[in-house]
């Protein structure tokens, strides 16, 4: 293993840059040259490559987003696109790839490896934390903390006006960001895709609200009811109340990664380079009970509808 490429694919996540830095540091120490591939699989197809060394990545550990840019590639979904990507891969003289991304990125990596026998290691980078084989994905902890801080700030103005706010957080089809950020911010109610939403139960909680209190209801973007729809129904039921909506959206993707995400991404980068150097391919990094490990990429898929029992118990007591 003399020359490896790094690409980030799919949605960006805080900590991707920390991971890129880790890969470059470890590779350089092992005598392996590192190259960044711009714009994900599209950049691989088009041969967009830059040289990376320690001085180039030394200060990116605190930056959100990804210096390599990212994209979802429709071209890579076709055999012709992957064939072109392989030709570019050979022209670059690469011996292996490290791909940082989520479920879709892994699927592309598995197909690419099977078709062209390319050595690949995946690293889980998604704020949704919805991949099998790891307790945490890069960006998840930062997204929770970002959402919590924004809800904390919202509480100040909500309390000043005794308002009811429906706040939407990201998470795709998983409610993990909603449940953790909502509990940490002291939300009065939380709604996630994994639990059926009871409209009447929401109305009951609003009806019990003291006139001098605010109320924050956190809704995951994947819930069966949209945030706007829930707020509209509540407004029809309680026309005298000030009921507002706030969609946090892509604010949760940005910002400097937390210490947890910086350390997690550094550990993943270390394991990925070590694994490629040992001739391993077709695996993804993960962390289970504090221990980093490898899992076969073909086994990694979205794992939905699983919320740890202690979180469900907290919902029951605190919301």
Can 128 be counted among the known catalytic residues?
A: yes
Burial class (CB in 10 A: 0-12, 13-18, 19+), 203: middle
- Facing residues of 168 across strands? 219, 247
179 three-class SS: helix
* Nearest Cα to Cα of residue 125 among 91, 100, 93, 97: 100
Number of H helices, E strands in the chain: 11, 11
Quickly tell me which residue has 């550094």 as its tokens: 266
- C-alpha distances in Å from residue 210, one per residue of 118, 142, 161, 163, 214: 62, 33, 13, 11, 8
**Structure-token pair, residue 126:** 């998604």
193 three-class SS: coil
- C-alpha 158, offset from chain centre: 29
* Nearest Cα to Cα of residue 53 among 100, 101, 6: 6
Q: Which of 103, 128, 130, 189 is catalytic?
A: 128
- Facing residues of 294 across strands? 285
Beta strand 33-37 pairing with 3-8: parallel
Q: How many residues does the chain have?
A: 319
- C-alpha distances in Å from residue 230, one per residue of 44, 103, 218, 220, 233: 43, 30, 11, 12, 5
Quickly tell me which residue has 């190259």 as its tokens: 35
Distance CA 196, CA 183 (A): 18
Distance CA 254, CA 248 (A): 11
Instruction: Give the catalytic positions in this structure.
Output: 128
């Amino acid at each position: 293993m003399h020359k490896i490429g790094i690409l980030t694919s799919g949605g960006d996540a805080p900590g991707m840059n920390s991971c890129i830095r880790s890969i470059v540091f470890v590779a350089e120490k092992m005598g392996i040259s590192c190259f960044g591939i711009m714009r994900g699989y599209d950049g691989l197809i088009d041969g967009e490559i830059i040289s990376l060394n320690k001085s180039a990545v030394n200060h990116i550990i605190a930056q959100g987003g990804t210096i390599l840019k990212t994209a979802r590639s429709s071209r890579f979904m076709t055999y012709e696109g992957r064939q072109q990507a392989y030709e570019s891969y050979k022209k670059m003289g690469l011996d292996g790839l490290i791909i940082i991304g989520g479920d879709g990125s892994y699927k592309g990596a598995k197909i690419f490896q099977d078709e062209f026998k390319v050595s690949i290691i995946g690293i889980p980078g998604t704020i949704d934390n919805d991949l099998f084989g790891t307790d945490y994905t890069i960006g998840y902890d930062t997204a929770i903390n970002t959402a919590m801080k924004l809800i904390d700030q919202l509480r100040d103005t909500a309390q000043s006006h005794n308002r009811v706010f429906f706040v939407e957080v990201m998470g795709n089809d998983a409610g993990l960001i909603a449940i953790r950020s909502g509990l940490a911010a002291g939300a009065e109610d939380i709604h996630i895709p994994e639990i059926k939403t009871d409209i009447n139960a929401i109305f009951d909680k609003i009806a019990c609200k003291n006139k001098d209190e605010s109320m924050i209801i956190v809704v995951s973007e994947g819930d069966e009811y949209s945030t706007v729809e829930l707020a509209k129904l509540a407004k029809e039921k309680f026309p005298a109340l000030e009921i507002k909506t706030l969609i946090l959206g892509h604010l949760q993707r940005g910002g400097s990664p937390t210490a947890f995400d910086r350390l997690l991404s550094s550990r993943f980068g270390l394991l990925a380079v070590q694994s490629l150097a040992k001739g391993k391919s077709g695996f993804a990094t993960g962390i289970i009970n504090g221990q980093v490990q490898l899992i076969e990429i073909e086994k990694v898929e979205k794992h939905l509808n699983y919320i740890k029992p202690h979180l469900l118990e907290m919902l029951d007591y605190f919301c």
